[in-house]
Amino acid sequence: AWQQAAENLEKVLSERDFATWIKPVNYSHHDGNTVYLSVPTSFFKDWLEENYQKVILGALTVTSGHNLSLSFVVRDHNSESETLLAEDLIIKGHQEEAEQAKSAQLDSTVTPLNSKYTFDLFVSGTGNHFAHAAAMAVANNPADTYNPLFIYGGVGLGKSHLLNAIGHTIRSTSPSLNVCYCSAEKFMYEMVNHLRLKKMDIFRNLFRNVDVLLIDDIQFISGKTGTQEEFFHTFNALHEAHKQIVITSDKFPREISDLEERLRSRFEWGLIADIQPPDLETKIAILKKKSEVTKIRLPEDVTYFLASSDTRNIRELEGMLIRLGAYSSLQNIPITLEMAKESLKDILGDRRKEITIELIQKAVADQFAIKIADLKSEKRQKNLVQARQIAIWLCRDMTKASYPDIGSKFGGKDHSTVIYATKKIDKALHDDQKFFKLVDDIRQGILK
């Protein structure tokens, strides 16, 4: 069934996405209704879980005719733990050992830009106006406007898209400029590889001689001292030479944990632009654009149905579109509202089902570094009260639990306490953008 499902996925995904993300996946085994697919690394696993789980499951369900569940297993644990070991050794200053720790091939340092992520295909709307404008300004005048430009926002909201779009524009208007697009993760892997092969001079030459450096997902270097050190020098060399740097992150610089102060402050030197979740109209406009590009024809009512579902992440929205396209072409039926409701039932329904009060309590306790017991206690310290109220609000927002249900899971609070907490947080979310961001980050973390 996997073979067949993969063939079907090949029809609906772009050639590149298919080659990158589906081809390396192998069938491993199955157990009851759970299909296990093997993938090369745990990074790969995370990526598939975040981006392709639903599409793959959709394809498997259609080809097998059964309701299945899906699990990914990492097939090549060794090479990965060696890389991590290498980073660990660099942190500890044991360069020699780090060099021996990994035995992978160097691959090409510069990642190609994603051809679909252009300004033409980016919908500017509430939530991303400012980041979009800043990205355009930088693309049109590299190194003469904001340097660095730091774009941050939750997952799937268009940061990579803007970063690639900057790259495309500069490459087409100034073909002589050397534009380098690279994720922070890749930066680290390349560094470790070059270090191992005693080729750090090549690595430094590569990164310190670019004209435009586009670094995606910088939060990845959190806690990775060796990588931070190297990135710090790369940043300085480029900035001093008046080269454009653009960085994306899922967090505001101050909120990235375990990040050296000197890097944090550099990230704040230029312009910081945030991307907030899109509103309904923007989601509709994005769906329309995506349906043009993918040629998946969406009737108005279905567009509205998808846009008004509780997803606030554009990648998820796109996932639903692709899934509908897949269903429609595989079963040879047109997309209708009824069909959309039916085929997305599990995605839209599942999420509510899976999220439990316990899960939320754990996420909030972790976020604030407090004990779950403190959330359930009567303690009145300010930070505990706030964490408790946020947890209660999230339970109300993300589960179907009633006020009394929630109260009882928070050490038997009465329902007026629960109502008070939700109102208080509602208001704070409304008044304070930073607070909104904090709560939304926890929420996104729970949804992952």
**Binding-site ranges for ligand ADP (CB under 6 A):** 117, 121-123, 128, 153, 155-161, 286, 289, 314-315, 318
Distance CA 92, CA 184 (A): 20
CB of residue 124 to ligand ADP, shortest distance in Å: 7
447 touches 351 (CB < 8 A): yes
Closer of 289 and 351 to ligand ADP (Cβ): 289
Residues 6+ apart with CB under 8 A from 216: 159, 160, 163, 181, 182, 183, 184, 248
Peptide bond into 112 cis (omega under 30): no
Closer of 311 and 361 to ligand ADP (Cβ): 311
12 touches 326 (CB < 8 A): yes
Distance CA 239, CA 245 (A): 7
CB of residue 5 to ligand ADP, shortest distance in Å: 22
CB of residue 281 to ligand ADP, shortest distance in Å: 12
CB of residue 253 to ligand ADP, shortest distance in Å: 16
Distance CA 440, CA 419 (A): 20
Residues 6+ apart with CB under 8 A from 8: 59, 62, 63, 326, 330
* Centroid of chain to Cα 296: 24
Closer of 104 and 121 to ligand ADP (Cβ): 121
For 246, phi and psi rounded to 5 degrees? -125, 135
CB of residue 214 to ligand ADP, shortest distance in Å: 12
CA 213, 218, 221, 225 torsion-angle sign: positive
Closer of 13 and 25 to ligand ADP (Cβ): 13
Q: What angle do CA 18, 153, 207 make, to 5 degrees?
A: 70
Distance CA 434, CA 252 (A): 10
Closer of 36 and 119 to ligand ADP (Cβ): 119
CB of residue 323 to ligand ADP, shortest distance in Å: 14
Closer of 163 and 302 to ligand ADP (Cβ): 163
CB of residue 326 to ligand ADP, shortest distance in Å: 16
Closer of 106 and 121 to ligand ADP (Cβ): 121
Distance CA 438, CA 444 (A): 10
CB of residue 88 to ligand ADP, shortest distance in Å: 27
Closer of 284 and 390 to ligand ADP (Cβ): 284
Residue nearest to ligand ADP as judged by C-beta position: 158
